[in-house]
Structure 1
Amino acid sequence: MTSVPDPWPSPRATAPVDAVVTLPGSKSLTNRALVLAAVADGPSVVRRALRSRDTALMAAALTSLGSAVDTGGEDWTVTPAPFAGDAAVDVGLAGTVMRFVPPIAGLSAGTVSFDGDAHMRTRPVGEVLTALRGLGVDIDGDALPFRLRGRGAVRGGTVVVDASASSQFISALLLAGARYEQGVDVRHDGKPVPSLPHIDMTVTMLRQHGVEVDDAGANRWTVAPGPVRAVDHVIEPDLSNAAPFLALAAVSGGTVTVRDWPRETTQAGDALREILTQMGCRVAFTDAGLTVTGPDELQGVDLDLHDVGELAPAVAALCALATTPSHLRGIAHIRHHETDRLAALAKELGGLGADVVERPDGLSLRPARLGGGLFHTYGDHRMAHAGVIVGAAVDGVLVENIATTGKTFPDFADFWSGLF
């Protein structure tokens, strides 16, 4: 990212925005593809890989374990190799690295230590580590920093986890399960698992690699032991990262097209089509991708976002600008994302004048006149997205640490400014 001021003056849309945008690749798809490539039976290519902090951390983690990951171009090549020596993994602020890498690190013959940014030491990972112990992995610690002593193989078997805090707990075990001697039989016991589309994404990708997965039963996923076939992946655009751009059409009354939007996808961000329609936007597939045209007035919504919680910051920002009340529910789990997103949204939107009430599992918003001010991001890229959405409709919004968007979208600030 080129140098930008901090706090950053968020551009204001003074006329309907008309734009066609090409988004970087999906972080969720890229990091799953990298993990599967690292445990596959031959080299793989990850095409149109997202180049961001999260994916760079994943590539570095897999390299430290022993794989060769060539990130020199848009297409990344992964050549697997036995995980043999000691390694140190920096997870940064990437939940996928903190949770997906330990299960495959159990296959190492060395000692692997994990640590990351200060906030990551408060994010939940204990369920994954406890599950791995039950599957035969030697681990010291229940949160960052922790250390894993690999024996070159993992027994595997049946394990019960409470994944009500994160679907990544399930995905992490499934991604490694085929390489375990007994495979893995993961059973969830607890409140409903959030973000189920992300588990569907994991299962779909495992099957693409020839892995046998049984997900027919409720709250149970079984991966049979066996090889992971080398497969090349073409990464879809990150549909969750589309949220601020489609929201720009919504708040400006303009038209924004996101190129190459897939007609079928496992990405949670695809829910934006229905959400924006409910808010009064016109949403349609075109030859170029997905086109959204904003209404004269945004309508509030009553939504359960349990399965698509990552969209909550952008949706909350739109609801703060709507002309009727909104209620966002089912998202208590986003308190454990990069920050406590419910508390942060209530504070920051409220600081700009929004009439917002924080609930145990969501937010309630009523129409109010918003004004300018400082919008803090808490090192959270999705909070930054919420800030720029409001800034597009309200004069004088300053977004603190806009650079945090580099987690999943390099050069976001310059790209966003270029649309006005």
Structure 2
Amino acid sequence: MRYIKPGAIEGSIDAPGSKSVMQRAVIAAALAEGESLITNPTFCDDAVATMNVVQALGAQITRTPEGVIVHGGGKPKGATLDCGESGTCMRMISAVAALYGKEFMITGNGTLMKRPVGMIEEPLRMLGAKCSTDSGLPPIRIKGPMHGGKVSVDGSVSSQFLSGLLMALPLCKEDSDVEVFNLKSKAYVSLTQSLMSRFGVRIRPDSGLERFLINGGQRYKARSYSVDGDWSGAAFILVAGAVSGSVTVERLANGLQPDLGIMDALEKAGAKTVQGDESVKVHGGNLKAFEFDATDCPDLFPPLAVLACNCKGKSVIHGASRLKHKESDRASVLAQELGKLGADIKVIGDRMEIIGKKLAGGRINPHGDHRIAMAGAIAALNSEKGVEIEGEGCVSKSYPGFFEDLESLMEK
């Protein structure tokens, strides 16, 4: 249990390393022959799970004061790939595991075992791998090797498997032609493509990211790579600055992370923002209701909901259906838990409607969802009596230092 008292924040923090970028960089480095150095790493639970999995696939990983050294190109050591609670790791690594002529069981724990993975089965079978799931849920059993070729992928639930497939197919001998339909979270696919090119591998998407042409026989090149600051984690701190004081977050550069969209939402709500080359400053103004489409950046829902609670009028956030299969049924749990604090919040179909009002505070149960725990902490700042958060340790999934960063800003 952790209690966050009401109060203003002021000061500056460094953004944590991006979980999404770190996981992709670790996989690319593991697929490269030779030694890569990943600087500004994050050691959140999901990143550590990804490092453990690529080590089981034969990579060697060493932590140093400079960062993480990944020696890629090894042979698989184990038959079980444990992804912890990381859906990104599980869906991406499935395609990578299919490169090997070996049978793997890809598993995890907690809520991950209830998250859908059925979208991976048919594409991998079309490419020659054997693949099965437990009625669309983990664990996944895969035996490769897969080959390149023509394949269709459903991107309606998640883009993570597509990202993994795009990373794996260039290593096949054959060329590939990947057709994608109903793709959500397009920006994460662009992020994957950009990172791949930094490691020497090219793919050719069409303008709508509906078709990808991939030359086979490519190889990843070992290199040094710096992980960007994490917009999804920083979004909570930026919202805190908007609703209760002033904050600067360093090491936040413009880039391809979709959660950069938090800046648009803050400006729509009337917060004062100043964006530098690698820093963002936010402080509050007369916050007003806003409308925002979070379909392609669903991780922003929790901080946006807290922002809306502090805005005058009715705010509408679109894309709530994307939250069904997160660490919790995030839309309903978010409405339930913020409701305990006095929020006026409803989920109607694909949208969330929030009428701003002063929150009373109280106690929340994040249901093991790191982003709901962080939302509760930010909601406390402008509440009457603060917020008690049960099971607050779940923030280690993406932002282990969150509470320390927040409390450092409250002490200034």
TM-score (norm 2): 0.94
Q: Residue 206 of structure 2 corresponds to which residue in structure 1?
A: 216
3-state SS of the aligned residue for 1:419?
helix
Q: Residue 367 of structure 2 corresponds to which residue in structure 1?
A: 378
Q: Residue 348 of structure 1 corresponds to which residue in structure 2?
A: 337
Correspondent of 2:274 among 272, 275, 284: 284
Cα distance in 2, alignment partners of residues 223 and 277 from structure 1: 39
Indicate yes or no: 2:9 matched with 1:10: no
Cα deviation, residue 410, structure 1: 1.6
Q: Residue 49 of structure 2 corresponds to which residue in structure 1?
A: 57
Correspondent of 1:38 among 27, 30, 40: 30
Cα distance in 2, alignment partners of residues 91 and 302 from structure 1: 36
Cα distance in 1, alignment partners of residues 176 and 391 from structure 2: 41
Q: Residue 400 of structure 2 corresponds to which residue in structure 1?
A: 410
Correspondent of 1:165 among 154, 157, 168: 157
Q: Deviations over 1:83-141 (max 9, x none)?
A: 34432111111111111111111122332211111311221211123211211111232
Q: Residue 99 of structure 2 corresponds to which residue in structure 1?
A: 107
Cα deviation, residue 72, structure 1: 4.1
Consecutive unaligned residues of structure 1, counting only runs of 5 or more, are: 1-5
Indicate yes or no: 2:252 matched with 1:261: yes
Cα distance in 1, alignment partners of residues 78 and 100 from structure 2: 8
Question: In structure 2, what residue type is equivalent to 1:412?
Answer: F
Contact map agreement 1:173 1:184 (CA 8 A) in 2: no
Cα deviation, residue 217, structure 1: 4.3
Q: Deviations over 1:218-252 (max 9, x none)?
A: 31122221112223211111111111111111111
Correspondent of 1:366 among 335, 349, 355: 355
Indicate yes or no: 2:381 matched with 1:387: no
Q: Residue 143 of structure 1 corresponds to which residue in structure 2?
A: 137
Indicate yes or no: 2:72 matched with 1:83: no
Check 1:199–1:287 CA distance in 2 against 1; reply closer, same or farther (3 A cut). closer
Indicate yes or no: 2:292 matched with 1:303: yes
Cα distance in 2, alignment partners of residues 104 and 286 from structure 1: 37
Check 1:216–1:414 CA distance in 2 against 1; reply closer, same or farther (3 A cut). same
Contact map agreement 2:193 2:202 (CA 8 A) in 1: no
Question: In structure 2, what residue type is equivalent to 1:343?
Answer: S
Cα deviation, residue 181, structure 1: 2.2
Check 1:333–1:184 CA distance in 2 against 1; reply closer, same or farther (3 A cut). farther
Question: In structure 2, what residue type is equivalent to 1:32?
Answer: R
Contact map agreement 2:230 2:252 (CA 8 A) in 1: no
Percent sequence identity over matched residues?
30
Check 1:51–1:86 CA distance in 2 against 1; reply closer, same or farther (3 A cut). closer
Q: Deviations over 1:250-298 (max 9, x none)?
A: 111x221111221x30111211211111111111124761111111x32
Q: Residue 246 of structure 1 corresponds to which residue in structure 2?
A: 238
Q: Residue 317 of structure 2 corresponds to which residue in structure 1?
A: 328
Contact map agreement 2:82 2:106 (CA 8 A) in 1: yes
3-state SS of the aligned residue for 1:284?
strand
Cα deviation, residue 42, structure 1: 2.5
Cα deviation, residue 203, structure 1: 0.9
Question: In structure 2, what residue type is equivalent to 1:105?
Answer: A
Question: In structure 2, what residue type is equivalent to 1:234?
Answer: S
Cα distance in 1, alignment partners of residues 160 and 175 from structure 2: 18
Contact map agreement 1:326 1:366 (CA 8 A) in 2: yes
Check 1:368–1:84 CA distance in 2 against 1; reply closer, same or farther (3 A cut). closer
3-state SS of the aligned residue for 2:346?
strand
Contact map agreement 1:128 1:172 (CA 8 A) in 2: no
Cα distance in 1, alignment partners of residues 361 and 202 from structure 2: 53
Cα deviation, residue 73, structure 1: 3.8
Check 1:74–1:128 CA distance in 2 against 1; reply closer, same or farther (3 A cut). farther
3-state SS of the aligned residue for 2:171?
coil
Q: Residue 3 of structure 1 corresponds to which residue in structure 2?
A: none
Cα distance in 2, alignment partners of residues 288 and 378 from structure 1: 34
Cα distance in 1, alignment partners of residues 283 and 324 from structure 2: 32
Check 1:184–1:393 CA distance in 2 against 1; reply closer, same or farther (3 A cut). farther
Cα distance in 2, alignment partners of residues 103 and 86 from structure 1: 17
Correspondent of 2:264 among 267, 270, 274: 274
Cα distance in 2, alignment partners of residues 101 and 29 from structure 1: 15
Cα deviation, residue 68, structure 1: 0.7
Cα distance in 2, alignment partners of residues 168 and 109 from structure 1: 23
Check 1:107–1:376 CA distance in 2 against 1; reply closer, same or farther (3 A cut). same
Mapping of residues 310-321 of structure 1, within 5 Å: 310-321=299-310
Q: Deviations over 1:285-314 (max 9, x none)?
A: 24761111111x321111111111111111
Correspondent of 1:401 among 391, 394, 408: 391
Cα deviation, residue 383, structure 1: 0.8
Indicate yes or no: 2:224 matched with 1:235: no
Cα distance in 2, alignment partners of residues 74 and 310 from structure 1: 29
Count of paired positions: 405
Contact map agreement 1:83 1:105 (CA 8 A) in 2: no
Contact map agreement 2:80 2:104 (CA 8 A) in 1: yes
Question: In structure 2, what residue type is equivalent to 1:392?
Answer: L
Q: Residue 114 of structure 2 corresponds to which residue in structure 1?
A: 122
3-state SS of the aligned residue for 2:141?
strand
TM-score (norm 1): 0.92
Cα distance in 1, alignment partners of residues 313 and 324 from structure 2: 26
Indicate yes or no: 2:181 matched with 1:189: yes
